[in-house]
Structure formats: C-alpha cells, structure tokens
Amino acid sequence: MASLRKSPNSKNWIICFRSHDGTQHQVSSKLPAKPAFRDQAMHIALELQNADRKTSSPDFDHFAQQTQFQKLSQKVMRIAPESIRQPSLTPLSELFGRWIENKKLSRSKSTYVRYKQVGQELVDFLGAARLKLPVSFVRPQDIEEFVHHLAHQGQTPSNCTTKLKIIRNLFQMGLRQSMIANNPACAVDAPSAIRNTREPFTMEELKALLIVSDQNWKVLILLGAYAGLRLGDACSLTWQNVDLDMRTITYLPKKKSRLPNVKKVVVPIHSDLYEAILKLPVTSNSPTTQLVSNLGSHATSGRNGLSMKFNRLMKMAGIDSLAIKAKGQRTFQAKTFHSLRHTFVSLMANSGVSQELRKELAGHDSDVHRIYSHHSIASFRGAIESMPSIVTK
C-alpha cells in the first residue's frame, strides 16, 4: 500500500510504494509537506502504484494507456523499464490552451473572451502548480470550492451557474479526448436562485418608443419587435439582406455565425416594418450598403454605444428599465433592446402562432424534428402578419 512521509532533507511529501517486481520506491511528490496537500500527494501515490501495476499487465487497454501518468513515471518516478510503452499524460495547462484555441476559432469574439476569462479565473484559483499536474488531478471538490469562492466574492447564483457551465465545457473537451475518465464539474450542483429574465414591452410602450424615435431608430425597433433581430444583427443588415419584392429578410445571426451547419433565418417583413423601410433614405445603389446607414457603424456596447442610446430613448418615452442592483453585482435591466426579441415571440404566442413556427422565426435551437420540418413562406408570413400593428396611422 502506498504511503507518505516527511523528510528532513525535503520540503515536499515523500511518496513510498512498492512496484510490481517488489522494488521499494521513495520519491518526491513535488507537493509541499503540509496537511492541505496531503490528500493530493496521496492521490499521486495511489495513481503511480496503479500505473506501475497496469503497465505490467498485457490486458492494459488503450483507454487506460491514455489516462496514466507518463511524465511522472518516466521523469520523476522511473518505475518502469524504458522498453515498456508508457501511457500518455496531458497536464491541465495543455487542456486549457487547447480549449481556449478551440473557442477562438469556433465562437464569436465576445463568447471567446467570456470563456477565456472564466477559464483564467479557475486557473488562478487552482494555482500555477496545479497546471503542471494531469487533468485527472482536478477533483469535483476543487470545482465546488471554486463555485463557493465565486459566491463569497458576491457573485450571483445565476452568474455562478453560468461559469460552472463554462467549466463543464472545458473538462468535457478533456473527456472527449480521453484525457480524463470523468468530468469533475458534472458532479457539482449549480447554485439555486431565481433567474433574472427580460420583460417584453407592452403595446403602449412600443408606441411610445416609436413616437420619440427618428426614422432610423423606428426601423431598428421594428426589426426587433416584428423580426426578432438582436441589436447587433439589426445594425449589420444590408440592402442585400432585404428582398422587398418577396417581403423577406434573410440573415445569419452573429451569435451563431461560427457554429457548423448554421441555418440562415428567413423572416417575412411585417406591414409596419415594410412601410418603415420604404421611408429610409437611399444613400447608395450598392447592395452591401447598410440598411440603417446612420447607426450601422456604431458600436452596440460602451458608454456611447447603441444600447445606451436605446436606454435614453426609453427614458424619453417614460419607460422604466426595471433595473435591479445588488451589492457586488452588476445592474440587471429587465427591459433593454433585447426585450424586443421577447416581445416578438410573445406577440406571436398571443396571436396563436405554434411553438414550432416561433422557434424557426426567432432562430432558436429546436428538437431534431426541425431538420425534417419544411415550412412554407406562406405559413411564416401568416405568423408575422398575425401580430397587431403598433404604428399610429
């Protein structure tokens, strides 16, 4: 049985165990000889003892070879002959690097930055020494302590849950690539809390917004309320996205633009939106000209971004943003431009449009049966025109 001891000649725990040929080994665990590191050092001792026994067995399977500890057995422990093929080892630092690079290529810039930030928070919490150890050395208790650490910093249960999901995604990559046998983050329960959600605008609020808006903002607001576009997607529309003859808008949501096999969203143009688009000034004959030219080049976020300008429009219209602020937390606003997307779905639901059509028009992820469903543009148009008018004639 593997054991630990302290040595006057070393500041680290000394691992003692006997290999399969009966040889006694005493080697450094590379972990400080303190009570806080005892469990980790003991875990290393047991894994190395098991690794030695398994590498001597002809029945040692490929998966076990992928998850044993090559570097420790070869460079530190030197418990197996060089003629025996040693199992591969992936340190946590390598998994983290691969994961971040993958997100950089497959996700939007904002999502990539968010994932990198959360991953770095976990790395900082675990400490630099843990990065050199195998991925399997991260225990569910470590992830649980990380979540508790976030909560003690004053972060909301909702924010902690979101970060836990991102951490699960990190270790899921290690699981898929056979670096670990189990995802340690999946064994941790998410904090329970009432999740803050956006509130849709009422018809009276929408009419008030249109009254205080110029023509450009009217188009953006109607794109959100009658087509379900996010602010960034609405600002990025060009005239080639709009087919005035067929009265349709075809676009690829930025949020999903880097995902494989993404389906473009086709939304029929509601009569109110159609009339507003016809009133826009035509500054160029080029189809790549932005639909809302005066606002299309502006950033959506920031102090002078379009989101803040929309907030000022709400104040002018006498609309309460329903802001929620708690100590140590960011302010959450229940009513923002994104609320128009909630309004879009709510208006269709209140008009009796089926859930399946609502998902298609909003570009929401759906069940597998979506692949086999082919709705006609007529059914989409009927769903859009079923929504009541908000434009004062």
Q: For the residues of 140-167, what is the DSSP string, one character each? A: HHHHHHHHHHHHHTT--HHHHHHHHHHH
0.85 exceeded by the pTM? no
Which has more pLDDT, 25 or 319?
Answer: 319
| pLDDT over threshold 90, residue 216 | yes
Fold that domain 92-187 belongs to in CATH:
DNA polymerase; domain 1 (1.10.150)
Residues 42-101 have pLDDT tens digits of 888 888 777 766 554 433 343 344 444 444 444 444 444 444 444 446 889 999 999 999
Residues 222-271 have pLDDT tens digits of 999 999 999 999 999 999 999 999 999 999 998 877 777 788 889 999 99
Domain positions in the chain: 3-77, 92-187, 203-385
Fold that domain 203-385 belongs to in CATH:
hpI Integrase; Chain A (1.10.443)
Q: Categorize the per-residue pLDDT at 365 as very low, low, confident or very high, splitting at 50, 70 and 90.
A: low
Maximum C-alpha span of the chain: 93
Q: Is 192 left (phi over 0), alpha (psi -120 to 50) or beta?
A: beta
Tell me the pLDDT of the chain averaged across its residues: 82
| pLDDT over threshold 90, residue 180 | no
* Cβ 148 vs Cβ 192: under 8 Å: no
Q: Give me the pLDDT at residue 191, please.
A: 82
* Cβ 381 vs Cβ 197: under 8 Å: no
Distance of CA 361 to the CA centre of its chain: 23
Residues 131-179 have pLDDT tens digits of 888 888 898 999 999 999 988 887 878 888 899 999 999 999 999 988 8
